[in-house]
Structure 1
Amino acid sequence: MQVDTTNTNPQDIVKNSVSNIAGNSSAGEMSNMFLELLVAQIKNQNPLQPMDGTQYVSQLAEFSNVESLQGIRQNTSSGLDYMSSLTVLEATKMVGQSVDVKANSIALEKDGSVKGLVNLDTPADSVTVQLYNKNGELVEEKELPYSGVGALRFEFDNQDAGGYAVRAYTTTSGVPKQLETWLSGDVERVSVGATPQDILLQIDGLGNFGLTEINQLA
C-alpha cells in the first residue's frame, strides 16, 4: 500500500487512514501500513512545531485498538464457520430419525401409522383428533387423555397406504377451537446448501422442511 503524503497535517494522515486499515486487511498488512503512516507523519511534520511523544503514543494506542478489533472480527468469522460446519454435521446425523413438523396431511407409501402431536397453550375440557382419507371421509376419531397444558401425542395405527389429513380441536364450555397439528415422519435425506439456513430435510410422506421448522425429535 502506498501512503499519500500530500496532506500537510500529519495527524490527519493517521485519522483519514485508520478506517481504511480496519477494513479488510490482515494483521500483517495492518502493521506494515501503520509503519508507513508513521514514517509519513514524521516526514511531514512541521520542524518548527514537532509533535511530542505523547501524540505518537496516543496514535499507537488508537492503532492497537483497531488491530484488536480486527483480530476479534477474524476470530468471530472463524467461529461462525466452525459452528456452520457443526450444524451441517448434526443435520446429516438426523437421517433415519423421526421428527415432528407442522403439517396436517401425510402420504403413506405403504401401510403404517399416522402419528404426531398437538400443543395446548390453555386448558380445555377435551381434545379430539380426527383422521380423514383422501376422499375427505372420516376414518377414525380419538379423544386424547387430557393432562393439562402442554403436548399431547396421538397415533392412528394400521392405516392403508394413501393420503390422509389430520384435524384436531379442543372443546371448552361447549365451544370448539381448532388446533395446529404436528405430524411425525422419518428423515430420508438431508440437502445441504451454502449456509445452515439452506439445509433441507426430506421427511417421509411429509415433504421438505428447514431445520427451524422441526419442533422436536419424535
Structure 2
Amino acid sequence: MASVNDTTAGVNLNDVIKASAKTTTTQTGVASATNSSTGGKTLGKDAFLQLLVTQMQHQNPLDPQDNSEFVAQLAQFSSLEGITSLNESVTAISGNYKSSQALQASSLVGRSVIAQTDKAVVDTTKSLSGSVVVPQSVSSVTLSITDKDGNVVRTIDMGAQAAGNAAFVWDGKNGSGEVLSPGTYNFKATTTVDGKAMEMYTLLPATVSSVTISQTGGEMMLNLAGQGSVALSKVQTIGI
C-alpha cells in the first residue's frame, strides 16, 4: 500500500486501471493495491470509485489533479456503471428467455402439429389430411406416396392449383382400393414450371414426442414421433 499512501506523487487512476488488467504474479505498486481492493477479480464500479477517492485524498498538493482529467475519470466511472447494469439486464433477460422456452417446450409435448416435412406416421384406418405449398399458379400437381421400402403405393392427381396451400386427403388405400398397413409413409409433391420439374414442400400432421432446447440460444427443435426433428419455425399449426 506504499504507492497509495505516497503524498509526494499523485496516483493516476488510468494507471491503476491499466495495471489491474495485468495477470502476472509480480504486480507491485498501484497494481497490487488494485488487487487488494478487488480480491484479484475484475475491477468493478465500487473498487473504481474507491480508487478514485483514494487518488483524490493522496494527490500531490503541489500538483493537484487536473479538472479535465478528473471529469474524464468520472465519465469512465459512469460508463462502467452503465455497462455493469446492462450486463445484469442482459443476464436477466437470458434467464427469462430460457425459462420461457422450457415452459413452452413442456406444453408442446404430446400435441398434434402440422409441420413442414415429407413423411408422416399414418393410421390407415383413418383418412390423413395434409397440404402442398404451391409457390405459384401451376397447371397440375402430382402427389406420390411411398412406403418405408420406397415403393410408390398411391399417386394423387391434384390438378391445377393457385399459389398457396393446396389441401389433399389420403384415405390410406393404394391405387387398387386396398387398405394399407399402418406405418410411416413419404409424400412427394411435384409440378412442372417452364418445362422443368419442380418439387414442392408438404405440410403433414405429426405428434410431438419431445423437445430439444438449444443451450446456445439457437432455435427450439421438436422431435416428432416416427418422423425425426423439425425446427419450431417449420411448424404451421399446433393442435390438441
Q: TM-score range by the shorter chain?
A: 0.7 to 0.9
Q: Determine the C-alpha separation between the residues in 2 that align with 1:156 and 1:110.
A: 9
Q: TM-score, normalised by structure 1?
A: 0.74
| C-alpha deviation, 1:187, in angstroms | 1.5
Partner amino acid, structure 1, of 2:200: L
The aligned residue for residue 134 of structure 2 is: 120
The aligned residue for residue 235 of structure 2 is: 215
Label 1:4 to 1:95 Cα distance change in 2 as closer, same or farther (>3 A): farther
The aligned residue for residue 119 of structure 2 is: 105
Label 1:44 to 1:153 Cα distance change in 2 as closer, same or farther (>3 A): farther
**Structure 1 unaligned regions, length at least 5:** none
Of 89-98 and 77-86, more deviation after overlay is shown by 89-98
Task: Indicate whether 1:189 and 2:203 are aligned.
Answer: no
**Structure 2 unaligned regions, length at least 5:** 23-33, 35-40, 173-179
Q: Determine the C-alpha separation between the residues in 1 that align with 2:186 and 2:145.
A: 6
Residue correspondences, number: 211
Task: Indicate whether 1:88 and 2:102 are aligned.
Answer: yes
Asked if structure 2 preserves the Cα contact closer than 8 Å seen for 1:117 and 1:154, the reply is yes
Task: Give secondary structure in 1 for the equivalent of 2:64.
Answer: coil
Asked if structure 2 preserves the Cα contact closer than 8 Å seen for 1:192 and 1:198, the reply is yes
Partner amino acid, structure 2, of 1:183: L
Q: Determine the C-alpha separation between the residues in 2 that align with 1:58 and 1:162.
A: 72
Task: Indicate whether 1:74 and 2:65 are aligned.
Answer: no
Q: Which has the larger radius of gyration?
A: 2
Q: Determine the C-alpha separation between the residues in 2 that align with 1:189 and 1:110.
A: 24
Task: Give secondary structure in 1 for the equivalent of 2:136.
Answer: coil
| C-alpha deviation, 1:154, in angstroms | 2.5
| C-alpha deviation, 1:191, in angstroms | 4.7
Task: Indicate whether 1:206 and 2:232 are aligned.
Answer: no
Task: Note the aligned Cα RMSD (angstroms).
Answer: 3.6
Asked if structure 1 preserves the Cα contact closer than 8 Å seen for 2:124 and 2:171, the reply is no
